Structure 1
Amino acid sequence: MGSKPTKISLSLATILGLSIWGAPVYAAPLNEPVANVDDTMTVIGRSDKSVLNIATNVAVLDASDIEASGATNLVQLLRGRSGIQVSDSNSGAVFAMRGFSGEQAGQNTLVLIDGRRLNNIDLAAPNLDAIALNQIERIEILSGSAGVLYGDQAVGGVINIITKSSEHAQAGLQVSAGSFDTTEYKGDISGAITEQWRYVAAANYKETDNFRYHNDSETGSVFGRLDYQSEQAHFYSEAGYFDNHRLLAGGLSQAEFSVNPRAAALTSSKDYQHEITTSVRSGYQQQATKNWLLGTDVSYTDSSTNTTNSGFAGDNQRSQLSITPKAVATFATAKGSLEIVSGIDYHLGESEFSWGRSNTQTQTAAYVQATVPLATNLSYVVGGRYAKAEDELVDGSAYPNGVELDQDAKAFELGLNYRPSASQRFYLRAEDNFRFAKVDEQAYTSAGVIGLKPQTGRSYEAGWDLMLASHVVKLSLYRLSLEDEIVFDPSAPKPNGGFFDGANVNADASRRYGASANWNWQLMPDLGFGLEYHYVDAEFTQGPNKGKALSWVAAHSGRSYLSYDISDAWQLYTEASYTGERYLGGDNANLEPELDSYVLGNLALNYRQDEWSASLRLDNLFDEEYASAGFYSAWGNSFYSGDGRSIRLTAGYRF
Structure 2
Amino acid sequence: MKPFSSSSWLASAALGVFALAPLTQAVAQAFSLEPIVVTASRSELLDTEAPFATEIHTWQDIQRSGATTLYDYLDRHTSVTVMPSYGNPFSQLLDMRGFGIGDGHQNIVVTLDGRRMNNVDMAPQLLGSVPLSSIERIEIVKGSGSVAQGDGAMAGVINIVTRQRDGASLSVAAGSHGLKLANLSAGLVREYFALSVSGEVHRHDGFREKDISGSKDQSSADNLQVQLRLFPVEEVELRAGKTRSWIDTTYGNSLTLKEFRDDPSQNRAGGTYTGQQFESHVTSFGSTVDLGYGLSLIADHFIEDKSSVYTGFGGSDYDYRSTDVAIKHQKNELLLMLGWQGFEGVREGSDNETSKDNTGVYLQGQYRWLDTLFAAGVRKEKVAYEYRPETGPSLKDDHKLTAWDLGVNHRLSQEVTVFGNLSQSFQAPDIDRFFNWGGTFNEFIEPARVRSVNLGFSHVTAYNKLKVTVFHMDLENEIYLEPITFANTNIDESIKYGLELQNQLQMTEQLRGSLNYAWVRAVILNENEGDGAYNGKDLPGVSEHSISLALDYAITDQSSLTLTQVWRSETWAANDFANEFDQKQQAYRMINLGYRHRLDQMELFAQVDNLFDQANGIWIRDDVIYPVNFTRTWRVGVRADF
TM over 0.5: yes
Match of 2:334 in 1: 338
Distance 1:125 1:69 in 2: 24
- Normalized against structure 1, the TM-score is what? 0.87
Q: Secondary structure at the match of 2:201?
A: strand
Match of 1:644 in 2: 631
Deviant stretches of 4+, over 6 Å: 445-448
Residues 275, 304 of structure 1: 8 Å contact kept:
yes
- Counterparts in 2 of 1:539 and 1:135: CA distance versus 1, 3 Å: same
1:124-135 correspondence runs (5 A): 124-135=123-134
- Counterparts in 2 of 1:520 and 1:212: CA distance versus 1, 3 Å: same
Match of 1:403 in 2: 395
Tell me which of 52, 56, 59 is aligned to 2:52: 56
Distance 1:517 1:45 in 2: 28
Matched, 1:610 2:600: yes
1:226-625 correspondence runs (5 A): 226-229=228-231, 230-266=233-269, 268-269=271-272, 271-308=274-311, 312-332=312-332, 337-354=333-350, 356-373=351-368, 375-394=369-388, 401-444=393-436, 449-450=442-443, 452-492=445-485, 502-543=486-527, 544=532, 545-592=534-581, 593-625=583-615
Q: Which amino acid aligns with 2:558?
A: A
- Counterparts in 2 of 1:632 and 1:148: CA distance versus 1, 3 Å: same
Per-residue deviation, 1:43: 4.6
Match of 2:173 in 1: 176
Residues 390, 405 of structure 1: 8 Å contact kept:
yes
Residues 417, 427 of structure 1: 8 Å contact kept:
yes
- 1:151-177 deviation digits (Å, cap 9, x = unpaired): 1111112111111114x2x12211110
Q: Secondary structure at the match of 1:589?
A: coil
Distance 1:535 1:357 in 2: 44
- Segments of 5+ residues of structure 1 without an aligned counterpart are 1-37, 493-501
- Counterparts in 2 of 1:264 and 1:145: CA distance versus 1, 3 Å: farther
Residues 110, 153 of structure 1: 8 Å contact kept:
yes
Q: Secondary structure at the match of 2:539?
A: coil
Per-residue deviation, 1:102: 1.7
RMSD value over aligned CA atoms?
2.2
Q: Secondary structure at the match of 1:83?
A: coil
Per-residue deviation, 1:508: 2.2
Q: Which amino acid aligns with 1:59?
A: E
Per-residue deviation, 1:599: 2.2
Match of 1:186 in 2: 183
Per-residue deviation, 1:99: 0.4
Per-residue deviation, 1:358: 2.8
1:38-187 correspondence runs (5 A): 41-43=37-39, 46-88=42-84, 89-91=86-88, 92-166=91-165, 168=166, 170-187=167-184
- Counterparts in 2 of 1:448 and 1:188: CA distance versus 1, 3 Å: closer
- 1:352-409 deviation digits (Å, cap 9, x = unpaired): 223x453122110001111123x3011221110010011102479xx96332111111
Distance 1:304 1:651 in 2: 34
Distance 1:200 1:519 in 2: 33
Distance 2:400 2:77 in 1: 33
Q: Secondary structure at the match of 1:507?
A: strand
Residues 43, 159 of structure 1: 8 Å contact kept:
no
Q: Secondary structure at the match of 2:377?
A: strand
- 1:508-552 deviation digits (Å, cap 9, x = unpaired): 211101101222211123221222221011110113111100010
Match of 1:207 in 2: 203
Distance 2:441 2:107 in 1: 26
Q: Which amino acid aligns with 2:434?
A: Q
Distance 2:575 2:399 in 1: 27
Residues 302, 318 of structure 1: 8 Å contact kept:
yes
Residues paired across the two proteins, number: 592
Is 525-534 or 552-561 further displaced after alignment? 525-534
Q: Which amino acid aligns with 1:615?
A: F
Q: Secondary structure at the match of 2:393?
A: strand
- Counterparts in 2 of 1:577 and 1:43: CA distance versus 1, 3 Å: farther
Q: Which amino acid aligns with 1:462?
A: L
Q: Secondary structure at the match of 1:77?
A: helix
Distance 1:43 1:514 in 2: 26
Match of 1:496 in 2: none
Q: Which amino acid aligns with 2:411?
A: R
Distance 1:246 1:643 in 2: 18
Q: Secondary structure at the match of 1:524?
A: coil
Distance 1:56 1:613 in 2: 37
Per-residue deviation, 1:451: 6.8
Distance 1:410 1:624 in 2: 46
Aligned identity (percent) is 24
Q: Which amino acid aligns with 1:273?
A: Q
Is 79-88 or 458-467 further displaced after alignment? 79-88
Q: Which amino acid aligns with 1:133?
A: L
Residues 131, 198 of structure 2: 8 Å contact kept:
no
- Counterparts in 2 of 1:42 and 1:579: CA distance versus 1, 3 Å: same
Distance 1:301 1:266 in 2: 40
Residues 147, 403 of structure 2: 8 Å contact kept:
yes
Q: Which amino acid aligns with 1:651?
A: V
Q: Secondary structure at the match of 2:103?
A: helix
Q: Secondary structure at the match of 2:454?
A: strand
- 1:311-360 deviation digits (Å, cap 9, x = unpaired): x421110111001001222121xxxx111222101000001223x45312
- Counterparts in 2 of 1:597 and 1:443: CA distance versus 1, 3 Å: same
Match of 2:24 in 1: none
Distance 1:381 1:172 in 2: 40
Residues 279, 301 of structure 1: 8 Å contact kept:
yes
- Normalized against structure 2, the TM-score is what? 0.88
Distance 1:57 1:267 in 2: 49
- Counterparts in 2 of 1:80 and 1:395: CA distance versus 1, 3 Å: farther
Distance 1:210 1:463 in 2: 43
Residues 41, 298 of structure 2: 8 Å contact kept:
no
Distance 2:539 2:408 in 1: 31
Distance 2:476 2:489 in 1: 12
Residues 44, 51 of structure 1: 8 Å contact kept:
no
Distance 1:370 1:525 in 2: 42
Q: Secondary structure at the match of 1:437?
A: coil
Per-residue deviation, 1:490: 1.7
- 1:431-459 deviation digits (Å, cap 9, x = unpaired): 11111111111223798743731111111
